């Protein structure tokens, strides 16, 4: 049954209740049958499940398989020292899992701290008596008493209302409190915001009073339906997660293919006698092909980004969300409280007397706003009028004290007027404010700069024009008038002026939107507010430009999926939308392969926040439902914080790609060296433990340091990268291959000098090991950001990079010079000239890569 389309009598029958409410016994039975009036949150993952989920990454699985294979052969061959290989791989995997788990728990704890722990109460009538009970014990059929300041405990069909206004921004997105009327029967297709004969769970009564019968509780309320929608929305992997998964698959195939070729060629050439050696060489190839440090590097770089963002008022709940921001193309933003202040503010005033003194005085006195320690309390429209009075240097308390109220006629939705009578220094005066069209018909005079004059048709037309001008700017307009004496007749009054209010944009948002445009992102407004208001704010913020389209939720319902998907990029504003509309809009953008971010603070934003690639909730004004649905929560509710987060996301992705380029070029060098040495030279080259050492020590630390590089100067002047694009598309794949071949040639040169020229195989292996280790340390200096590059005369890197290089050099010296490590790594002590050649060959990587950069730069020009 659609209760908003039914009479009060029919509603009471349907829920089996009366005007005197349920008895305590009936309420107890219903509570036992239907459960508590509470939103059931998403079931939290256990610590074990969280830990196991850290191992679900394809790259981690490949590493684990390599570790197991290596361990099996070490045990079969009784080469127990080789178990070190497996142990190191497992250690890296565990470190990666712990970092991810700790970060996930940190985000959860931070969000828990944002929760409001105060349990609300509700006033209900049971057995004809008013009682105060916990809101979670409210049941269908209860009669709820609503007064200013109350939170609506469940969905209600109003039975009676007296000047009742309820703020429903969290659910509908409408910034102005909705005037409720129990007598109205809404249309069958009425949108949520137009069901004025109903009150919804989570709304706040800002004015008046009313009674309502509960029609739905808990998960059956409008808020509950949204929470249920969230539970059915599946999580999508981040773009980087997809690309790394693809990389893992490619590496797995390459590992198997190359290992099979080496095994086959070695067996054909040497026979079955060398099967074990051939197989261990294949294992070495597998270890060489897999960048063991990559998962940990990616996780740590993301975690460092998360820590930095938390200091910039953004709590990230899962690590991949940081990187997803970097390729964000669409930001779908709620209006109220996100783009705007969620605070009505006077923007314009019209006074025929050219003096606002009396106009401000009437608006402030004919007003139920109260001053508290926390600030102004009351209806947002009325607090805006008082705030305007105070901002003009006046004292509200002194005004009320000098003009005490002696009578009043409250606002109602029929008259659309409010009148208060005050004792002033000049006697009693009745002050009236309300809808301009209603008040103007009750005035016969006007206050001008020449004093009180008759209200002529010319004056009426000027007032109507002034009202229209304000309304066209989406301002909410109120008129003011007065009458000498203590009459509440509201007739033959003297017109004083108009005031126009709006929930204004946050001052920093326009610059943030401009930065979004520069960065190639589209900002879009999606709101439950009226279309004219939404368009006015969107134009002011430059979200909407000439030629852009706007639509209401009703118009959206009439669009086919095909039409919406094809034309979605033409729209900049959607107004009066339902939660389902918002989800549909996000899906339409995603159908165009766009990476979508959705910001919002209301319950009505939660499903679309969940559906989006990156959901952004608000920490201060946001509902718990929206915060739990989001990937990131802004603790300052500042839209501009998102832009900083996007910049951080782009920087992180850029640094991760540098790390990937650095690591995979080294892996290519290792694989090619092993392949050439095994197939063409027929000699033992690098052992698995040597390769692991390079991959985990001389590779991983510099790779981590690259993750701390500052952002490129033009990072926010570039269009977003395509999430569907290949990780190795463009220059990255080419650079990995070219620089991998460079390293291969240098390492083979070092090996050949030791093995063939100095005729010492062990020395040749050690020289190749030293050269490859040092090449990684020096190569990292080539991959710094442009502002710190060698081409710009910056020889040394950031502190982390310099420390990584120094540590790598010292540890490599340790492996070569200490006899204990010589046994494990199969290295030997080198002469001074062998050291000189090994290091000199490694240093050659720096000019070679810089020459490559200069050639590429010249080709682009």
Dihedral sign from CA coordinates of 147, 148, 150, 154: positive
Closest CA to 120 of 528, 601, 624, 602: 624
Rg of the chain (C-alpha set)? 35
Token pair 């006899």 is found at: 819
Q: Bridge-partner residues for 204, per DSSP?
A: 151, 167
Encode burial over 43-66: b for 16+ CB neighbours within 10 A, e otherwise.
Answer: eeeeeeebbeebeebbbbebbeeb
**Residue 90 phi, psi dihedral angles, 5° rounding:** -65, -35
Provide the total of helices (H) and of strands (E) in the chain, helices listed first.
Answer: 32, 25
Closest CA to 662 of 575, 775, 561, 559: 775
Closest CA to 125 of 209, 13, 18: 18
Spell out where 235-379 has E strands.
314-316, 330-333, 345-350, 370-372, 375-377
- State the chain's maximal CA–CA distance in angstroms: 118
> Which residues are part of the catalytic machinery?
334
Q: Is 366 left (phi over 0), alpha (psi -120 to 50) or beta?
A: beta
Task: Say if CB 445 and CB 495 are below 8 A apart.
Answer: yes
Q: Bridge-partner residues for 550, per DSSP?
A: 573
Dihedral sign from CA coordinates of 851, 852, 853, 857: positive
Q: Name the DSSP letter for residue 635.
A: T
Closest CA to 528 of 172, 166, 168: 172
User: What is the spatial distance between Cα 744 and Cα 736, in angstroms, rounded to a whole number?
Assistant: 12
User: What is the spatial distance between Cα 241 and Cα 704, in angstroms, rounded to a whole number?
Assistant: 18
Task: Say if CB 705 and CB 800 are below 8 A apart.
Answer: yes
Contacts of 315 (CB under 8 A, 6+ apart): 107, 110, 111, 309, 619, 632, 633, 635
């Amino acid at each position: 049954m659609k209760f908003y389309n039914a009479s009060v009598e029919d509603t009471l029958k349907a829920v089996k209740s009366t005007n005197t409410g349920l008895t305590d016994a009936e309420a107890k039975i219903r509570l036992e049958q239907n459960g508590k009036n509470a939103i059931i949150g998403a079931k939290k993952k256990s610590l074990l499940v969280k830990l196991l989920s850290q191992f679900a990454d394809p790259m981690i699985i490949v590493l684990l398989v390599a570790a197991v294979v290596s361990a099996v052969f070490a045990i079969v061959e009784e080469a127990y020292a080789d178990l070190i290989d497996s142990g190191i791989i497992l250690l890296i995997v565990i470190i990666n899992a712990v970092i991810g788990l700790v970060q996930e728990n940190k985000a959860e704890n931070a969000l828990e701290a944002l929760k409001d722990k105060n349990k609300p109460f509700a006033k209900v009538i049971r057995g004809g008596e008013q009682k105060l009970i916990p809101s979670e014990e409210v049941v269908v059929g209860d009669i709820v008493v609503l007064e200013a300041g109350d939170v609506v405990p469940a969905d209600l069909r109003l039975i009676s209302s007296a000047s009742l206004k309820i703020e429903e921004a969290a659910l509908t997105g409408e910034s102005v409190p909705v005037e409720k009327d129990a007598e109205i029967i809404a249309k069958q297709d009425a949108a949520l915001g137009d069901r004025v004969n109903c009150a919804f769970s989570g709304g706040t009564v800002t004015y008046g009073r009313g009674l309502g019968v509960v029609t739905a509780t808990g998960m059956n309320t409008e808020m509950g339906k949204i929470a249920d929608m969230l539970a059915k929305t599946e999580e999508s992997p981040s773009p980087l997660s997809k690309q790394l998964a693809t990389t893992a698959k490619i590496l797995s195939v390459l590992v198997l293919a190359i290992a099979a070729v080496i095994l086959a060629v070695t067996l054909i050439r040497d026979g079955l006698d060398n099967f074990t050696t051939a197989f261990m060489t294949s294992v070495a190839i597998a270890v060489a092909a897999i960048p063991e440090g990559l998962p940990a590097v990616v996780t740590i770089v993301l975690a460092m980004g998360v820590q930095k963002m938390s200091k910039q008022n953004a709590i990230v709940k899962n690590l991949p969300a940081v990187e997803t921001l970097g390729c964000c193309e669409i930001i779908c933003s709620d209006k109220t409280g996100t783009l705007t202040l969620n605070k009505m503010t006077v923007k314009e005033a019209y006074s025929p007397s050219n003096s606002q003194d009396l106009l401000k005085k009437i608006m402030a006195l004919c007003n139920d706003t109260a001053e508290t320690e926390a600030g102004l309390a009351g209806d947002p429209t009325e607090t805006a009028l008082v705030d305007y009075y105070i901002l003009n240097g006046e004292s509200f308390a002194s005004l009320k004290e000098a003009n005490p109220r002696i009578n009043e006629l409250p606002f109602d939705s029929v008259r659309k007027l409010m009148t208060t009578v005050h004792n002033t220094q000049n006697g009693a005066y009745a002050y009236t404010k309300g809808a301009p069209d209603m008040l103007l018909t009750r005035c016969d005079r006007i206050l001008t700069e020449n004093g009180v004059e008759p209200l002529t048709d010319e004056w009426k037309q000027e007032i109507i024009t002034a009202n229209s001008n304000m309304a066209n700017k989406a301002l909410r307009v109120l008129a003011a008038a007065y009458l000498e004496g203590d009459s509440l007749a509201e007739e033959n009054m003297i017109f004083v002026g108009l005031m126009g209010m709006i929930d204004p944009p946050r001052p920093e948002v326009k610059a943030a939107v401009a930065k979004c445009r520069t960065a190639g992102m589209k900002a879009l407004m999606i709101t439950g507010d009226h279309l004219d208001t939404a368009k006015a704010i969107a134009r002011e913020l430059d979200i909407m430009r000439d030629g852009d389209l706007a639509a209401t939720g009703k118009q959206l319902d009439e669009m086919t999926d095909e039409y919406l998907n094809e034309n979605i990029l033409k729209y900049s504003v959607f107004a009066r939308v339902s939660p389902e509309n918002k989800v549909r809009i996000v899906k339409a953008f995603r159908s165009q392969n766009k990476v979508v971010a959705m910001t919002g603070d209301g319950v009505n934003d939660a499903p679309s926040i969940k559906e989006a690639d990156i959901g952004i909730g608000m920490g201060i004004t946001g509902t718990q439902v929206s915060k739990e649905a989001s990937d990131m929560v802004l603790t300052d509710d500042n839209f501009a914080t998102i832009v900083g987060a996007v910049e951080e996301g782009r920087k992180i992705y850029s640094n991760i790609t540098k790390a990937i380029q650095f690591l995979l070029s080294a892996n290519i060098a290792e694989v090619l060296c092993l392949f050439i040495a095994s197939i063409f030279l027929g000699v033992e080259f690098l052992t698995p433990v040597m390769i692991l050492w390079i991959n985990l020590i001389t590779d991983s630390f510099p790779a981590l340091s690259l993750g701390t590089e500052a952002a490129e100067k033009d990072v926010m002047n570039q269009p977003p990268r395509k999430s569907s694009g290949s990780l190795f598309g463009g220059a990255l794949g080419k650079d990995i291959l070219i620089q991998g071949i460079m390293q291969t040639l240098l390492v083979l040169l070092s090996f050949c000098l030791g093995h063939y020229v100095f005729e010492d195989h062990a020395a040749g292996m050690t020289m190749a090991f030293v050269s490859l280790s040092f090449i990684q340390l020096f190569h990292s200096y080539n991959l710094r950001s442009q502002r710190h590059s060698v081409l710009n005369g910056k020889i040394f890197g950031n502190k982390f990079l310099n420390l990584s290089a120094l540590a790598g050099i010292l540890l490599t010296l340790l492996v070569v010079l200490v006899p204990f490590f010589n046994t494990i790594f199969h290295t030997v002590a080198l002469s001074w000239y062998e050291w000189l050649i090994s290091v000199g060959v490694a240093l050659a990587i720096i000019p070679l890569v810089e020459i490559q950069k200069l050639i590429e730069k010249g080709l682009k020009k």
